[in-house]
Amino acid sequence: MKKLFITAGFGLLAMAAPAAADAKLFPYPAKANYCPEGLQPIQMGGVICCGVPNQSVTYSQYQAHPAPRRVYRAQHWDGSKSPQGWDGSKSPRY
C-alpha cells in the first residue's frame, strides 16, 4: 500500500513538472529574507514562497496596466439648481 502511494505521488509530480516549468516566478520585495541560502522570496500565483525568480519585475509591476491614469476634476458649480445654459423657458430649443 505504501508503495502504491509513493508511485502515485511521483506520477502526480511528473504530470505537474511541465506546468511548473512554464510558471512565472516573480521576485517578492521583502525587507527580510528568511529563505535558505541561494533562494529568495518569490510570488507565484499570489502565493509567497522561497525560490529563484525567472522574471525581472515584481508581480505588482507586471499587473500594472500601461494606460495612463485619468484625473477627474469636479465641474464648476455656480449655485444654481438649473442646468448650465438654461434661460428659464419651458419650451425646448431646437
Model pLDDT, residue 33: 86
pTM of the model: 0.44
The secondary structure of the chain as a DSSP string is: -HHHHHHHHHHHHHHHHHHHHT---EEP--SS--SPTT-EEEEETTEEEEE--S-SS-HHHHHS-SSPPP---PPP--S-SSPTT--S-SSPP-
Domain ranges of the chain: 24-64
Q: What's the pLDDT tens digit per position in 19-60? A: 556 778 888 888 888 899 999 998 877 788 899 988 888 878
Model pLDDT, residue 11: 60
Q: What's the pLDDT tens digit per position in 62-76? A: 878 777 778 888 777
CB 48 within 8 A of CB 42: yes
